[in-house]
Amino acid sequence: MRSLLALLKLTRCCLHLLHGMWTILTKFSKATHEQRSQHVADWSKRFLELLGVAVRIQGQPLQKGPLMAVINHVSWLDILVMLAAQPVCFVSKSEVRHWPVIGWLATNVGTLYIERANRRDALRVVHQVAENLKAGQLIGIFPEGTTSDGKSLLPFHANLLQAAIASSSPVQPVALRFLEANGELSMSPVYIDDDTLLSSVWRMLRADPVTASLDFLPSMPTDGLDRRALAAQLQTLIYERLNSCEIM
C-alpha cells in the first residue's frame, strides 16, 4: 500500500513539474520580478504539499534585498522550502543544471551555478553575486557546500560571503531542520553519502509527512568584516539554533 501511495504521489509531482514548465513558458516573459517570485513560491508550496512536507516559519524572512540568506544544507528539498518562504536567487552546484527537468526549472528561475573545484569559477561567481546584491537582490547560499545529516554541520566555506562584504549587504542566518510528527528529527529528506537523487526521492515519496522548520535569525551587517570570521560566526549561530532545546 505504501508503494502504491508513493506512485500516486510521484504521478502528481510529475504533473506539477510539467505545470511549472508551462508557467515559465507562458507567464514569465510578461511577469514582473514580484509576480515571478509569487509564481515560484506558490509552485514550491504546492510541490511540498504533494510530497507531504509542511513548512513552519519562525522569525522574519526578509522579502526585499539586498540580502544574503545563509542556510544549512540537508536535502534537495531545501531550495523548495526556502523558495516557499523567501524569494531568493540560489547559488547552486553546477551539477544541478544537468538534472532532468529540475535543472531546466532551476535555470529559468534565475539560479546561479558554481563549479566548486574551479577556483577561477568561484571568483567569477563571487563577483556576479556581489553585482546582484548591489542591484538589490536576495541571494541564498549553502555555505557547507554539500548536504549534511541534519544533526550536525559541516565547516562553512567563506568564499561566497565575500560577495556580501564587498557589496556591504547584510546576511541573514537561517536554521533548517526536518521534523517528524513527534518533534524528532526526520531522516527521510536527508540526501548524503551513497544516496542517489532517485533513491532519495523514492524514500521521500514513501515517507510519513514531515515538517520543514525554518528559523530566520536576525540579519547582520557585514561592513568591515573578515569573511572567515563571518563564516565562523554564522556557523555558530545556526548550530546553536539547531541544537536549541526549544521545540518549534
Residue 66: per-residue pLDDT: 96
- Name the pTM for this structure: 0.91
CATH code of the domain containing 23? 3.40.1130
In terms of Cα–Cα distance, which of 87, 92, 34 is closest to 61?
87
CB-CB neighbours of 63 under 10 Å: 12
> Contact at 8 Å (CB) between 219 and 60?
no
How far, in Å, CA of 127 to CA of 133, rounded?
A: 10
Residue 171 neighbours by CB under 8 Å, 6+ apart: 67, 68, 69, 70, 161, 164, 219, 220, 222, 230, 234
**Axis crossing angle, helix 33-51 with helix 78-85, rounded to the nearest 10:** 130
- Quote the cell numbers at residue 28: 514569465
- Quote the cell numbers at residue 182: 513527534
> Contact at 8 Å (CB) between 16 and 51?
no
Q: How confident is the model at residue 215 (pLDDT cuts 50, 70, 90)?
A: very high
Mean pLDDT, rounded, for 142-158:
89
Q: Above 90 in pLDDT, residue 65?
A: no
**Assigned domain for 247 exists:** no
Q: How many domains, the chain?
A: 1
Q: How confident is the model at residue 80 (pLDDT cuts 50, 70, 90)?
A: very high
Q: Which residues form the domain of 110?
A: 2-242
Q: How confident is the model at residue 169 (pLDDT cuts 50, 70, 90)?
A: very high
119 burial (CB, 10 Å; 0-12 / 13-18 / 19+) is: exposed
Q: Above 90 in pLDDT, residue 121?
A: no
Q: How confident is the model at residue 1 (pLDDT cuts 50, 70, 90)?
A: confident
CA distances for 15 relative to 8, 11, 53, 108, 200, angstroms: 11, 6, 17, 18, 19
Q: Above 60 in pLDDT, residue 127?
A: yes
**Assigned domain for 25 exists:** yes
**Assigned domain for 248 exists:** no
In one letter, which amino acid is 149?
D
**Assigned domain for 116 exists:** yes
HSE value, Cβ hemisphere, 13 Å, CA-based, for 43: 24
